Structure 1
């Protein structure tokens, strides 16, 4: 597998899954444009990748809850490159709580803004650069919480709202952009294991058997598979079976 011809934007690249995805794409040779809420977080991932000998990587600040920050980020990407081949909408705030009253109004607003509005505005502002690519793909990490009827044991209602907003947006965007050759790919994983450091020996030793929880590596493999398919192959969604689905309440 080789992605040396791809320029890839990843939001939420400063930690966890976004960081792991950045290291994976760097290993495949892609040019990376990494965003995180703070520039320092994006720069840490950039430094790690450069220390591994890959210098085609750039760091940006992007607060997904702030439209002005998103516009500044998109403008900075546009000054760096004339096209974006893959946009990975990975950044979003997680929020948990036992009931609607358990979090502040600010938590609710920030969760919906970063997850739903942020995804829309990043895609909107980078769309001209995507349309300049010969093989544009928009990949969005949604969640099982964006699937109608799905239940999560601790996710807050505002998180559900953000993820349902992402799902509605990507479904409409897929229909709108298909005639222009843009593939819109959404992933709806349950909670998955992203605890292992991609730079540690444990990363390659992650158990991935039939009885093991979904691993970050498997989600990354799905993304890599989808974006490398010929352009007639349009995989618009990945849905994952949950190993241990949360119990439904007894009515």
Structure 2
């Protein structure tokens, strides 16, 4: 099944590394022009160079701290100047900050909501009118399985991600009459930069052994790859998913107890 995104323009936040970069890679391989948003220019430049070798579409980079409304607006203006319109938005920026509830300050709560919820709200609000007018749009919110089945000690991430699920469903209802489709993808244990960092802090043993140990609790018996996650995102971004909206899809090897 071949995905053809020729002529489409996608914006991927947190697109310079990990899952975001894998999604961007899959989109440009399918012919889309892709704008990468992330904070550090040098990392964005490295990502652009890495994508260039196999890109069928163009790759643009826009340094942007998505917790800042003015920077999102500036990046959006840059995307519009470079590409003319936006068809696909992947709200991927985020971290997995967690801790005991009583220890989480207002400042930590606000920072988490700014990064994982308000960034998606602000960027989607900017692109929404043109999607409605052109009667074609895709919004993919990257969340995690804790949004559906939060555990003790999983705040603030699980709470902000649950709000992202509610946002997804609201937007799907509003977008459906205009062929603007909105879905969420939920990360389980997927290889990414955060696990590389955690392995570095974990002591002796190879990274492969570290991942193998993590995979023991997953029904499929292994940690997923960013490319496997990106394949699902690319499908949702395409015309092949033309009747899929308002859905939350786990990409987790059946780790979550909730569908």
TM-score bin, normalised by smaller chain: 0.7 to 0.9
The within-5 A match list for 1:213-232 is 213-230=223-240, 232=242
Structure richer in helix, relative to its length: 2
Relative to structure 1, the CA distance from residue 242 to residue 47 in structure 2 (aligned partners, 3 Å threshold; closer, same or farther) is closer
Structure with more contact order per residue of length (Cα contacts < 8 Å, sep ≥ 6): 2
Give the corresponding residue for 1:249.
none
Native 8 Å contact 2:12 2:89 kept in 1: yes
Q: Which residue of 1 aligns with 2:205?
A: none
Instruction: Confirm or deny that 1:185 pairs with 2:183.
Output: yes
Counterparts of 1:245 and 1:171 in 2: how far apart (Å)?
A: 20
**Structure 1 position 114 matched with structure 2 position 93:** no
1:16 and 2:18 matched: yes
Quote the offset at 1:54 in angstroms: 5.3
SS at match of 1:163: helix
Q: Judge conservation of contact 2:29–2:57 (CA < 8 Å) in 1.
A: no
8 A Cα contact 1:64 1:115, kept in partner = no
- In the superposition, relative to structure 1, how do residues 132 and 38 fare at CA in structure 2: closer, same or farther (>3 Å)? farther
Aligned to 2:166: 168
Post-superposition shift, 1:80?
A: 1.4
Within the candidate set 69, 72, 85, 2:71 is matched to 69
Q: Is the 8 A contact 2:38 2:64 kept in 1?
A: yes
> What is the CA-CA distance between 1:230 and the residue it aligns to?
4.6
CA displacement at 1:58 relative to structure 2 = 0.3
CA-based RMSD of the aligned residues comes to 3.0
Aligned to 1:85: 87
Q: Assess if the C-alpha contact under 8 Å between 2:13 and 2:92 holds in 1.
A: yes
Find the aligned partners of 1:58 and 1:245 in 2 and give their Cα distance: 35
Whole-angstrom CA distance in 1 between matches of 2:56 and 2:180: 28
Q: SS of the residue aligned with 2:6?
A: coil
Structure 1: segments with no counterpart, 5+ residues: 247-251
Residues matched between the structures, number = 235
Structure 2 unaligned residues grouped into runs of 5+: 197-207, 209-214
**Structure 2 residue 161 is matched with structure 1 residue 151:** no
Say if 1:213 and 1:243, in contact at 8 Å, map to a contact too: no
More divergent stretch after superposition (47-56 vs 72-81) = 47-56
8 Å contact from structure 1 (residues 8, 86) kept in 2: yes
Instruction: Compare 162-171 and 43-52 and name the one that shifted more.
Output: 43-52
Using structure 2 for the length normalisation, give the TM-score: 0.78
Instruction: Measure, in 1, the Cα distance between the counterparts of 2:5 and 2:174.
Output: 26
Give matches, 1:31-70, under 5 Å: 31-52=33-54, 56-70=58-72
In structure 1, C-alpha distance between the alignment counterparts of 2:7 and 2:77, rounded to whole Å: 22
1:232–1:58: structure 2 CA closer, same or farther, 3 Å change rule? Answer: closer
